[in-house]
Amino acid sequence: MSQITQRRRSLGLLLAFLLIPALAQSQPTTSADQVSYDTVGNKVRSVAHRLQEMLNVVDFGAKGRCHDSLAQDATGAPIYTQDDTAAFNAAVQAASETGKILYIPHGDYCVESIDARNLKRLHIVGASWVLRTRIVGRKSGVPILDASGTENLVIEGIKFDPAAFANSETEPAVAIPSCAILLGRTVQGGGGAIIRDIAIWGRGYTVAGICSVGREGDFYERVSVNIGILDEGSPRILFTKYPLPLFPNNSDLIDGPNAGIVMFAPALAAYKPGTPLITIVEGQDISIVGAELLAPPPAEDGHAQIEAQDVKNLLIYGGYNERLGGSRKVDYIALEGQSEGILLEGIRGYRPVVKPQATVDHFALLSTFLADTMVVEGRITNSWLDLSGMGLQTGENASIVGSILSGIALQQEVPELASGNHLVRANVPVPNASTPPSNPQVQEVDKTLGRAQRVLGNLQRKTEIFNKSGTIAPTVDWVLAKPTTAPLILTLPSAALVPGQSKTIKKIVGNLQTVLVMAANGESIDDQPSVKIEAARGSIEMTSDGTAWWITNGN
């Protein structure tokens, strides 16, 4: 090859190298609006439309690599090279303002404290804690997620880890957050949260797992808490009326009891002796269904896995508690203060205790499998205690008055209880409402049982999801409507078929598509043939009087 040919080839390669970036830059860009795809339902959608449905915390700068990017200082202590607090705070605000779901993909996200306070709505979804969407708290004395005052809150599929390594130059070697999640009530509000499929696990410590101050109408489902606790008095889940010193940076929290709280299938574990799993201070209308409680025996008798002080209408149904070895007695529940309307039913575990100076009115202990002796050191009135398979131990100042006691030979074991109570020996049927005992006070027990049955009825209400138009069956109580691409038309059952029943219809998407609810057979809804749900995530409740439907609640 001649030198001229070689020079020409070299010049050509040089020109191509110089022109490639310019040619690349000259290519027209394609926006998300110009790219479409076929959905499973054979609908063509643009990528831009799809992206509008959900926000991603990564788009706000979150890296999710704190676990992999830990470095060590000269002493070998770990330090941070990545913090996602600012990204999370910006993403939370944007999700609340737009009404979109905030998605947190797989990753380890280190934060100091996520500020989600006083928002009107917020829905955070992780890839699932099993697939390791993990938020790690790296600062002591503050919650990992602070949602005080926030309403319409949904948190699901996330693992909160308070085992954060702290910056050795400014903080201790291990950070101790005040709570993994703080839910509080402020002057702006606070209630209506759904906490679902959440794990709070870690090798470090918190003062408490979930802290709830004065909340209303929150629902917990499949919440698992298994972390190190700062001291023996710190619970896994705390329901309290008062803003304790536990929350020094939350001066806007206000006093008020937790009310209308439902916990379904929580799994709570502790490995430090004497640690309570659930503490309730001045709560009302609280239901705990199917709880799994696991804790070691205390250093001495008298520690309870559930502590309840000054509570009203507490239902604990199903579930069990276990003790990790040892011979010390661990109490299932300890009642303190003045409480009213307590129902324990279908529970397997250890003993219930009424503490000294405590008074409990309308206490129903039914169909339990408690392998221990019930301890009464305070006062019980107007109650129904089925002590089948159990013993009964009373303190010096204990009293039980106006109550049904069944299942053991109480006349022989505790003869002083024969006065003022209706005693039923073992293997003798307990009186029912149709044959009440002679003491009229014990009939008040039915009020407690009635409240419990209503709560259980609400938990068992049937729900159906509608993706397309259809007719609501008479047996369906709650309807979740998803008008994603077109309006939905839902027809109510005849009011004559369901007199006195209510139907709640909730639009669960944030778009402007309409849900049209129609009455059947010429009936009416508030004297109209139909009603519309147009607002994003709007809802309506209608009740039948046997001839027509009437709107009893809606937004």
CATH number for the domain spanning 208: value is 2.160.20.10
Extract the tokens encoding 114. 């996520």
Number of structural domains found in the chain: 2
**What is the CATH classification number for the domain harbouring 512?**
2.60.120
Give the position of tokens 């202590």. 77
Residues 372 and 488 in one domain: no
- Is 164 inside a domain boundary? yes
Select from 393, 425, 446 the last residue of a domain: 393
Pairing assessment for the beta strands 78-79 and 369-370 based on DSSP bridges: unpaired
- Is 14 inside a domain boundary? no
Residues 104 and 212 in one domain: yes
- Structural contact between residues 296 and 270, judged by C-beta atoms closer than 8 angstroms: yes
Q: What are phi and psi of 180, to 5 degrees?
A: -70, -45
In terms of C-beta density within 10 A (0-12 exposed, 13-18 middle, 19 or more buried), how is residue 209 classed?
Answer: buried
For residue 355, give its domain range.
55-393
Instruction: Output the tens digit of pLDDT for each of the chain's 555 residues.
Output: 555 555 555 555 545 544 445 544 545 566 656 666 565 555 666 666 666 678 999 999 999 887 544 566 566 555 556 889 999 999 999 999 999 999 999 988 989 899 999 999 999 999 876 667 889 888 877 889 999 999 889 999 999 887 544 443 444 445 667 788 988 888 877 888 899 888 887 655 666 788 888 888 888 988 888 765 554 556 778 888 777 666 666 667 878 888 888 888 888 877 666 678 898 999 988 989 888 887 766 555 667 889 999 999 898 888 877 765 555 667 889 999 999 989 888 887 778 899 999 999 989 887 676 667 888 899 998 888 887 777 788 888 888 888 877 765 444 455 556 555 666 544 434 444 334 344 444 444 444 445 444 444 544 456 788 888 999 988 888 888 888 888 999 999 999 888 888 888 988 887 888 999 999 988 999 999 999 998 888 889 898 888 999 998 776
Q: What are phi and psi of 59, to 5 degrees?
A: -70, -15
- Is 543 inside a domain boundary? yes
| Of 126, 42, 100, 39, residue with least CA distance to 509 | 100
184: enclosing H helix or E strand: strand 179-184
451: enclosing H helix or E strand: helix 445-459
What was the pLDDT predicted at 6? 56
Select from 393, 418, 437 the last residue of a domain: 393
- Is 545 inside a domain boundary? yes
Q: What are phi and psi of 361, to 5 degrees?
A: -110, 135
Cβ atoms within 10 A of the Cβ of 461, count? 12
| Of 425, 430, 356, 443, residue with least CA distance to 393 | 356
Residues 163 and 70 in one domain: yes
Residues 212 and 300 in one domain: yes
Residues 489 and 377 in one domain: no
Residues 343 and 225 in one domain: yes
Interatomic CA distance for residues 305 and 288, integer angstroms: 13
Residues 377 and 485 in one domain: no
- Is 404 inside a domain boundary? no
Residues 152 and 272 in one domain: yes
Residues 471 and 386 in one domain: no
What was the pLDDT predicted at 434? 37
Residues 236 and 131 in one domain: yes
- Is 279 inside a domain boundary? yes
- Is 22 inside a domain boundary? no
Q: pTM for this one? A: 0.67
Tally of residues, the chain: 555
Give the list of residues 6+ apart from residue 246 with CB closer than 8 angstroms, or none: 178, 179, 207, 208, 211
Residues 71 and 177 in one domain: yes
Residues 347 and 239 in one domain: yes
Select from 369, 393, 417 the last residue of a domain: 393
